[in-house]
């Protein structure tokens, strides 16, 4: 099928796995990240235990690091329908970065009190939804091996090895998308066992 502008409507646009992170990078004139899609079983430990699951990252990171996680908003925009944020999740007390990423939150899908907490930029969305006992599903769309570039190295403070992450959607009980997220883990100490 051809539309009036001559565009073939049967050709689907390529799905941008790194959206909304790619949007923030393009806005700043930074090239797309080099990445490879992996099967969950190909993600090495301890990243696999953190990433390859149908649950929010906030609770997993808090359990793994043994502390409370807070949100450090790096860049954001809000059009009253959606909130976009490039963020770092940090461990309270030592300020260590435990996740870097970007999120698009559908504000119109959330109750007013949760929307207010999202816009306060203190807690990650998973933590907010858990605290309010809002039912949701975490649905990973892809697991990624990422080649860090200068922009990522500057944020993470490290470029020693490939990074691992995931593209994730948080959906409500009715299937409505609450958020699209790209989550990238910094290098973490390897277990000695």
What pLDDT is stored for residue 161 in this prediction?
78
Which residues sit opposite 140 in a β-bridge?
168
What separation in angstroms does the CA of 8 have from each of 1, 3, 13, 68, 83?
A: 6, 7, 11, 50, 32
Instruction: Report the predicted TM-score, pTM, of the whole model to 2 decimal places.
Output: 0.88
DSSP 8-state assignment for residue 107: G
What pLDDT is stored for residue 3 in this prediction?
42
What pLDDT is stored for residue 2 in this prediction?
44
Consecutive 10-residue averages of pLDDT for the chain (193 residues): 43 74 94 94 96 91 93 94 96 92 96 94 92 92 95 86 94 92 87 47
What pLDDT is stored for residue 189 in this prediction?
64
Structure-token match 């860049």, residue found: 75
Q: Where are the domains of the chain?
A: 31-185
Is 52:43 a contact under the CB 8 Å cutoff?
Answer: yes
Nearest alpha-carbon partner for 86 in 144, 175, 26, 31: 26
Is 174:69 a contact under the CB 8 Å cutoff?
Answer: no
What pLDDT is stored for residue 12 in this prediction?
42
DSSP 8-state assignment for residue 94: T
CATH of domain 31-185: 3.40.1410.10
What pLDDT is stored for residue 179 in this prediction?
96
């Amino acid at each position: 099928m051809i539309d009036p502008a001559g565009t073939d409507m049967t050709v689907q646009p390529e799905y941008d796995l790194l959206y909304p992170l790619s949007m923030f990078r393009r806005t700043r004139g930074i090239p797309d990240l080099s990445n490879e899609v992996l099967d969950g079983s190909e993600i090495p430990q301890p990243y696999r235990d953190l990433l390859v699951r149908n649950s929010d990252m906030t609770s997993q990171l808090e359990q793994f690091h043994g502390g409370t996680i807070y949100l450090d908003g790096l860049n954001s925009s809000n059009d009253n329908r959606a909130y976009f944020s490039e963020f770092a999740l940090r461990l309270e007390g030592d300020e260590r970065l435990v996740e870097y990423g970007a999120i698009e939150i559908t504000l119109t899908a959330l109750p007013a009190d949760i929307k207010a907490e999202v816009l306060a930029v203190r807690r990650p969305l998973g933590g907010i939804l858990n605290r309010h006992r809002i039912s949701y599903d975490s649905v990973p769309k892809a697991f990624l091996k990422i080649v860090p570039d200068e922009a990522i190295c500057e944020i993470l403070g490290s470029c020693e090895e490939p990074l691992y992450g995931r593209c994730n959607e948080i959906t409500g009980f009715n299937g409505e998308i609450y958020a699209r997220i790209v989550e990238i883990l910094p290098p973490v100490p390897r277990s000695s066992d």
